[in-house]
Structure 1
């Protein structure tokens, strides 16, 4: 999936402009980079369009995943995107759905297994029909 298509998909799913969709995508990806190990972040980044790789760029300080639950994930996205937490949940789902559509080779499943069970509500809408979030 190319960059414009990715942004357009998120813009449609969140009923926002393309410019605002970019901000929402970046807020979600930066938070995801906080939560995933550096290796998984890199695996995801190489499958996304070049402009979306910047928020996923790991640093030595981010090599290890931060341990925080879904509530904290939503709060961080809300803060970064300057939206309320209810809106952030919809944004996260929209971005996750678009990530699943953009990546290949089971990369989305590999991402999901790094997240604890309390992420179920924000991750499952992006999963293939009939799939369930595995416990971590």
Structure 2
């Protein structure tokens, strides 16, 4: 998926303008990059447009924090955007799940399930099936 299409989908999901959608996407990708393992962040980044992919890999990876802390960190990174962190997180995650190939989608879903982030997964409106898999299914 190209950058413009990805940001347009985030904008549609959040009812935000283009600049806000860019900020929302950056905030979620940076936070996601912190939580994913370094290898998983690099694998996911490889499937995103260059300027978006760097948000996944620039910071420290593999940090341990809860779903609530994930949303809080997204909120903190979007201090000038009028989109709640929960909404931003599910909008960007849903878009990412649609943007990547099936094996990478399965890996991200597995990671989120291992982290206990089922609520974020359940709230995405991604046009993909993330519920009818067994753990570890690729």
Note whether the superposition's TM-score is higher than 0.5.
yes
**Which digits, 9 at most, give the CA deviation of each residue in 1:36-77, with x for residues without a partner?**
111000000010111101211246xx35x1111101000000
Structure 2: runs of 5 or more not aligned: none
CA distance in 2: counterparts of 1:56 and 1:117, whole angstroms: 17
Spell out the pairing of 1:44-123 with structure 2 (5 A cutoff).
Answer: 44-58=44-58, 62-63=60-61, 65-82=62-79, 87-115=84-112, 116=114, 118-123=116-121
Residue 11 of structure 1 contacts residue 18 of structure 1 at CA under 8 Å; is this kept in 2? yes
Tell me the CA shift for residue 16 of structure 1: 0.4
Secondary structure, aligned partner of 1:114: helix
Residue 117 of structure 1 contacts residue 133 of structure 1 at CA under 8 Å; is this kept in 2? no
Residue 44 of structure 1 contacts residue 107 of structure 1 at CA under 8 Å; is this kept in 2? yes
Secondary structure, aligned partner of 2:86: helix
* Number of equivalences: 131
Task: Go from structure 1 to structure 2 and tell me whether the alpha carbon gap of 1:88 and 1:71 turns closer, same or farther (over 3 Å shift).
Answer: same
